[in-house]
Chain A
Amino acid sequence: MSQAVENTAPAVAAAVRPSSALTRSLIGGLVTSLPVLAIGLAILNFAPTYYTYLALGAFVNLIVVVGLQVFMGNSNIANLGHSAFVGLGAYGVAILSTPLAMKKLSIPNAPFGFATLQLDPVSSALIALIVVGIIAAVSGKVISRLSGVAATIVSLALLIIVHSVFLNWTDLFKGNQAFFGIPKVVGLPWMLVFSVVVIVLARLFKDSRWGLQLRASAQSPQAAAALGIDAKKLRLMSWVLSALICGLAGVLYAYFAGTISPKLFYFQMIFNTLAMLILGGMATVTGAVTGVIMLSIGLEFIRSIESGVTIGSIQLPQLLGLSGVALGVVIVLCMAFRPSGISGRYELDELLSRFLRRNAK
């Protein structure tokens, strides 16, 4: 990973100059996604299948965390309901693209003719994302009107509403049981492509005038309002974009795992992704990427201890809950000692160009 960064550093130095802000933020986004690309390619070429599977899960988390950053990082309002959109995306494609033979087994009584409907994966994904967008626009209307704390609580309420619908509308969502038979059409290469796209998108939004205005209104609502910034509209915009990215993560998850169930998209996912974003630093897209890389590796290590390890001749018992404790401790310590996370205020490309400039002097 570090080698990849070093190799590209001169190219960055040359490219950081262009005058257009758009180009600069586009290149910035690409630089930020380089570590992800490097790790992805390394896994694609060298890692055994088991690790590829783990990596796919980590990439889904990455997309979720970047989506979370789009709302939380810019509006500075805690969102605890984003996994609802991940779930909606995943169930959307599950209902639309699962082969009919499988549907006869899993949801034979689905309403609105879904039981006899089978679309190709791409149009299913598009329709699922449109549905996510509509639900996000409606919920965002409410959330963008509320003050910070109330907005957070309503985002939680949204999560509970969606989860409870998944559980109880058994004809359509199959309830508590796993929904299986979704076509497995996404592998690591597609996952990488989408990760890069999403990272660049998040960066473009952050640097756009809307992103800038939203960040300004989060820092000082009065000053921003005095400048004529419509914070509600901007919050709604970032909420919908964030939901769409999370929905995309859900779509990709369904297409690589082939099996989904409601509990995947509940508090556990919220805990994981929130801790990742906080550890990395929610103000920047780089922070989101850093947090995912570090915690994915860390959590995998802790999970191997959690399931019981043998050191020498001593067999340690199962330690269920250890990874949860670690996640919580990461959040609490970060908040107490470094609320801006590891990466702080600067994006990777900004850090690199500062570093290069200092060396050039």
Chain B
Amino acid sequence: MDYALQQLLNALAFGAEYSLVALGLAVVFSIMGLVNFAHGEIIGVSAYSVFLAAALGLTSPFVAVLLAVAAAALAAVAFERVAFRPVRYAPTTTGLLTAFGVSIVVQNLFMLLISPKPQSVSILNGLNQMWFFGPFAVSSLQVMELIVSGLTILALVLFLNRSTLGLAIRAASRDFATVRLMGIRANRVIATAFAISGALAGIAAVFIIARRGSVSPDLGFGLVLKAFVACVIGGFGSLAGAAAGGMLLGFIEVGLLVALPQEYGGFKDALTYVIIVALLVYRPEGLLGQRVELGDKEI
């Protein structure tokens, strides 16, 4: 019982993290069709700012969390301004490759300017403790991850549904031209979308630092690959799909960890992807995606 509960919490926590990152990707993709491979490096920038701040004498974990989120949001907006604006109206493949290029540049800059080796960051380690509920011992980090992700997604939904800018973002994902005709600036909508995407990445970064206690140049890259996969299973561009896909991915991974014998544990990633590719054979448009025929205007 204890074991099952523990694994359930594991799956929920992993899933919550994937959902956060996948949502960040989906927000940007739904508006401007950009497949943002550099999302992992936004997480990286956030983690390295915490590392640098801690090295310069920052001691308050609370400030570190704020810094992580702010740095990620800023980095996302900066990436958009510098690299993605020139390719805004270009075909999807061009944007995708640009983002891939940005990701390579930033990853290697961490290597060049800081170090290719992982650097230890202990400032957020306090978040990772054992909590005892009666007979159950649970990791505080996982509980927080679940709660914070839930609250963040709730806040995102409220923002998108209740605020003018949120409405503009939702409208822009369907028909950007009309949104601009209504007198809303394209740059503002896109910058907001990137800031949201960055903030989500920053929250994920906080949990990553707290769990690993170190930062390394490729820390966001692998996670973002998984988040992409989550987006694809959910249906690319659909926000609900991204969140659901992330959760599903978390459950598949933990399920495999439990089911696989110890000596085959290394095949977890391979099998996860095989399962997902198999899902796509049956639903190429993703679980929550709709089959869009060519030329359909209304989604």
Chain A positions within 8 Å of B, measured between CB atoms, are: 76-78, 80, 139, 141-142, 145-150, 152-154, 156-158, 160-161, 164-165, 167-168, 221-222, 225, 271, 274-275, 278, 319-325, 327-332, 335-337, 339
Contacts and interface: CB of A to CB of B under 8 A. Distances in A.
Contacts of B273: 157-158, 160-161
Given A150-B284, A274-B97, A335 B108 contact: no
B27 to A, nearest CB: 15
A176 to B, nearest CB: 10
A332 B41 CA distance: 15
Given A156-B228, A325-B109, A331-B98, A225 B35 contact: no
B280 A77 contact: no
Contacts of B286: 150
Interface residues of B, number: 51
- Of the candidates A319, A320, A321, the one having the most CB atoms from chain B within 10 angstroms of its own CB is A321
Interface stretch (B46-54, B83-91, B152-160, B179-187): B83-91
A164 B100 contact: no
Contact of B295 (A76, A222, A339): A222
B151 to A, nearest CB: 29
Given A149-B96, A167-B266, A327-B101, 9 more contacts: A146-B280, A150-B280, A160-B269, A168-B266, A321-B107, A324-B105, A332-B98, A335-B95, A339-B87
B32 to A, nearest CB: 13
Nearest to A156: B225
Contacts of A167: 266
Interface of B: 29, 35, 83, 86-87, 90-98, 100-112, 116, 217, 225, 228-229, 231-232, 236, 264, 266-267, 269-270, 273-274, 276-277, 280-281, 284-286, 294-295
Given A332-B98, A336-B86, A321 B111 contact: yes
Contacts of A225: 294
- Of the candidates B108, B225, B229, the one having the most CB atoms from chain A within 10 angstroms of its own CB is B108
B112 A161 contact: no
B104 A142 contact: no
Contact of B267 (A152, A168, A336): A168
A336 B83 contact: yes
A150 B283 CA distance: 12
A149 B280 contact: no
- Of the candidates A77, A141, A339, the one having the most CB atoms from chain B within 10 angstroms of its own CB is A339
A321 B277 contact: no
A183 B101 CA distance: 37
Contacts of A145: 280-281, 284
Contacts of A324: 104-105, 107-108, 111
B87 to A, nearest CB: 6
Contacts of A323: 108
Contact of A325 (B87, B105, B277): B105
B108 A325 contact: yes
B294 A335 contact: no
B266 A322 contact: no
Contacts of B228: 153, 156
A193 to B, nearest CB: 32
B54 to A, nearest CB: 22
